[in-house]
Structure 1
Amino acid sequence: MEFNDRITKVIEYTELSPAEFAEEIGVQRSSISHIISGRNKPSLDFIMKIKNNFPDLEWDWLINGKGEMLHNKDVEKPDTEKNNEETKVKEKKSLPDLFSLLDDENFGKDPVSNSNARDFDKTVQRQTQEKISDSQRLENNGHNLKAQRKEIRRIVFFYTDGTFETYEN
Structure 2
Amino acid sequence: MSINERLQMVIKMNDMTNAAFADKIGVQRSSISHVLAGRNKPSVDFIQKILKNFPKVDPGWLITGERVGKTSQEQNANVDKDLVESFSSSDKDLDGQIVGEPSELKSQTFEDKVSDEGPLIYGGKIIGKACKNNNSDQEDRKIDQIIVFYNDGTYETLSS
Tell me the TM-score range normalised by the shorter chain.
Answer: 0.3 to 0.5
Higher helix residue share: 1
Question: Structure 2 length as normaliser, TM-score?
Answer: 0.44
Higher strand residue share: 2
Give the number of the structure whose alpha-carbon radius of gyration is greater. 1
Question: Structure 1 length as normaliser, TM-score?
Answer: 0.41
